[in-house]
């Protein structure tokens, strides 16, 4: 069934920074906390799909600046996301949540292949579906994949969990002391003003398809649950 879900269904994007706790490798304590917050929302009936980033292991663009072929480096980046998927799956299962991992690069021993209709079925059954390996294509980002997966699995909203900021600002608040947080924003304005908190491809894919996005901070305990339940936190970006 590919029609609209009856329950709230959302796509949560978790970046590599969350998984690494700001460092290279895995920060299990952080993944455990986030998993507990996701479990709370699942217990209240929210259908949750998750796209996982991988910047805590490799970013293709950075590796290519240090001499690697860009496409190959991007594949390394995608493989990194899968390790994060498995860590998240483990802590979610420990928290009593039923999960499936689906990857855009086939690796049958550790995950299902990405099959959209099957993903929808998992969501309907209350399983959390974790999408790994990005789009399986170099030159894309997991932010863009988050929007694509949300469209294909009919999610109501894309929730971008960010580290270090609690929403979209008029400028980078770390560099510009006059930067103001925005409560609402249009994709057109985000693109025109070059706001880089989410990448431009992701913003334009949302704009063209009328998806609502919410950008929120991962720092505040409880925010993941709040965002999943639909509380008005962070910044809402609309068409």
Of 58 and 169, the one with the shorter C-beta distance to ligand UDP is 58
Of 43 and 215, the one with the shorter C-beta distance to ligand UDP is 215
Give least dist CB 22 to ligand UDP, A.
Answer: 11
22 annotated as belonging to a binding site for a ligand:
no
Of 35 and 81, the one with the shorter C-beta distance to ligand UDP is 81
Of 91 and 140, the one with the shorter C-beta distance to ligand UDP is 140
- Token pair 């998750």 is found at 50
Give least dist CB 179 to ligand UDP, A.
Answer: 21
For ligand UDP, the binding residues (CB under 6 A) are: 15-17, 53-55, 59-61, 74, 77-78, 81, 134-135, 137-138, 140-142, 145
What are the φ and ψ backbone dihedral angles of 37, each rounded to 5 degrees?
-70, -40
What's the rounded Cα separation, in Å, for the pair 225 and 219? 12
Sheet holding 235-238, edge to edge: 112-113, 99-103, 128-132, 47-52, 9-14, 157-162, 213-217, 235-238, 184-186
Tokens of residue 35, six digits: 């998993």
Q: Do residues 10 and 156 make contact, with C-beta atoms less than 8 angstroms apart?
A: yes
Give least dist CB 227 to ligand UDP, A.
Answer: 16
Q: Burial code of 94-116, b = ≥16 C-beta within 10 A, e = fewer?
A: ebebebbbbbbbeeeeebbebee
29 annotated as belonging to a binding site for a ligand:
no
139 annotated as belonging to a binding site for a ligand:
yes
16 annotated as belonging to a binding site for a ligand:
yes
176 annotated as belonging to a binding site for a ligand:
no
User: Element (H or E) spanning 68, and its range?
Assistant: none
- Residue list, annotated binding site for ATP: 13-16, 55, 59, 163, 169, 172
- Residue list, annotated binding site: 13-16, 54-55, 59, 74, 135-142, 163, 169, 172
């Amino acid at each position: 069934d590919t029609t609209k879900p009856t329950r709230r269904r959302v796509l949560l994007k978790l970046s590599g920074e969350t998984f690494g706790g700001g460092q290279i490798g895995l920060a299990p304590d952080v993944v455990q906390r986030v998993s507990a917050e996701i479990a709370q929302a699942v217990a209240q009936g929210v259908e949750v799909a998750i796209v996982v980033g991988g910047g805590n292991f490799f970013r293709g663009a950075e590796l290519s600046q240090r001499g690697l072929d860009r496409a190959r480096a991007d594949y390394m980046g995608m493989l990194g996301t899968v390790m994060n998927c498995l860590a998240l799956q483990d802590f979610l299962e420990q928290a009593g949540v039923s999960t499936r991992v689906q990857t855009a690069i086939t690796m049958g021993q550790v995950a299902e292949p990405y099959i959209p209709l099957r993903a929808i079925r998992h969501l309907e059954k209350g399983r959390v579906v974790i999408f790994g390996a990005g789009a399986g294509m170099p030159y894309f980002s997991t932010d863009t994949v988050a929007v694509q997966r949300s469209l294909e699995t009919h999610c109501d909203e894309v929730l971008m969990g960010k580290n270090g900021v609690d929403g979209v600002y008029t400028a980078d608040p770390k560099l510009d002391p006059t930067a103001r947080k925005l409560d609402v924003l249009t994709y057109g304005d985000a693109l025109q003003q070059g706001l880089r908190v989410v990448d431009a491809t992701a913003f334009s894919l949302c704009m063209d398809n009328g998806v609502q996005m919410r950008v929120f901070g991962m720092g505040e305990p409880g925010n993941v649950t709040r965002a999943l339940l639909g509380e008005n936190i962070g910044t809402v970006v609309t068409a």
